[in-house]
Amino acid sequence: FLESGEVKNNLDSGVLTIESPVLEAAVGFIQNKPISLGPFTITSQQNGAIALYRLPRGFLLVCIGKVKNTNSGWNKAGRFEWGETPILLQKMDIEVRANADFLGSVYALDGAGSRREKITLTPSGAKTSFSTAQSPSPWFEITNEEKN
């Protein structure tokens, strides 16, 4: 799979980028660095991981800051405690700008992948943008009903 050339990766300035026909991602020191993923430019105010997975009619966007087990960390004896479930996720607030005409919709998703609230889109000329700060969810569905 990796030797097929379908998956490309690059590590530059502390940012690992991954590009394949179904998934694009950026992980690492991405704070305040515009990242191009698919038809979007994404900017985060913190470091972490952003992934854009292609769906038949759009995309799944995931934006995660920190991840850790409950009660994990260093104890007083200097040993690391792995903690227990549930796993704690810190969602990142990101700004997403479509690189082309975009008439789609964006929905925050719950942990089961069901739609929660619809995210407000902000038109700016021929481009559209949105912020994930509108929702506590780290998962978003982006539909791609583009202009003809």
The dihedral through the CA atoms of 128, 8, 48, 114 has a sign that is positive
Q: Which residue, among 62, 141, 142, has the nearest Cα to 99 in the 3D structure?
A: 142
Q: What is the C-alpha separation between 9 and 11, in angstroms, rounded?
A: 7
Reported pTM: 0.84
Locate tokens 């902000």: which residue? 122
Q: What is the C-alpha separation between 113 and 127, in angstroms, rounded?
A: 27
Q: Which amino acid is at 50?
A: I
* Mean pLDDT per 10-residue section of the chain, whose length is 148 residues: 64 88 93 93 95 93 93 94 92 89 86 94 84 94 70
99: which 2 tokens? Answer: 């690189």
